[in-house]
A = this chain, B = another copy of it.
Amino acid sequence: MAVTDEAIERIKEMIVSGALRPGDRLPKESELAAELGLSRNSLREAVRALSLIRILDVRQGDGTYVTSLDPQLLLEALSFVVDFHRDDTVLEFLAVRRILEPAATAMAAVRIPVEELDALEGKLDALGPQPSVEELVASDLEFHRGIVQGSGNSVLCSLLDGLSGPTTRARVWRGLTQEDAVSRTLHEHRAILTALRDRDAEAARSWATVHVASVEQWLRSTL
């Protein structure tokens, strides 16, 4: 195995084993390089790779630290990966989302705080009757994120966040706004909110399914 790959494994092992804990500072480049028995350049490649997927956080002039390792942070790299997929696999991502989103919405029905529901409704109200594409995308993203956060599962939340990345979403919306789907989507958002207020998990699940499925269907007919 190449020295750099070995360094990646060694650093990973140090973190997994607990020798390095979240927030800990790594020895400085030169020391760590000597410790692992390689040059600074090679070590830097390892550190950079781990930095890309948010395992490490390098701060110039300060040092290199282990991140919080929150699922949210680590799965953020997922959206980077999703960006590489073209339209032909978007449907598969959307199918996964159609599984997760209703489940998350149903989970949220029994535990999301009323204040959060109020906040979400307020944001829907703030959206005018003729929102721009950018506003719609932002609103949609925020709406779903708010609900999924209400599920109380941060892994689920981050996963959906990554799957519904800006790129995918934007691609979908770009054409979707040409149709009358805008008002229908907003109506579905309202329906989901109502179901959540009623603490009706099954209704919430159904509305979420309908919501995602309608996007999926439109996309399938277009591609």
Contact = CB atoms under 8 A, between A and B. Distances in A.
B69 A53 contact: no
Main secondary structure of the interface of A (DSSP, over half): helix
Interface string A70-99: 010011011011011100010011011001
A144 to B, nearest CB: 16
Given A4-B48, A44-B45, A84-B55, A155 B75 contact: no
A74 B69 contact: no
A81 B77 CA distance: 9
State the number of copies, please: 2
Q: Kindly name the residue among A50, A55, A75, A84 whose own CB sees the greatest number of chain B CB atoms within 10 A.
A: A84
B15 A95 contact: no
Contacts of A44: 41, 45
Contact-size category for A: 35 or more
A156 B96 contact: yes
Interface string A163-187: 0000000000000000000000000
Interface of A: 4, 8, 12, 15-16, 41, 44-46, 48-53, 55, 69, 71, 74-75, 77-78, 80-81, 83-85, 89, 92-93, 95-96, 99-100, 103-104, 153-156, 159
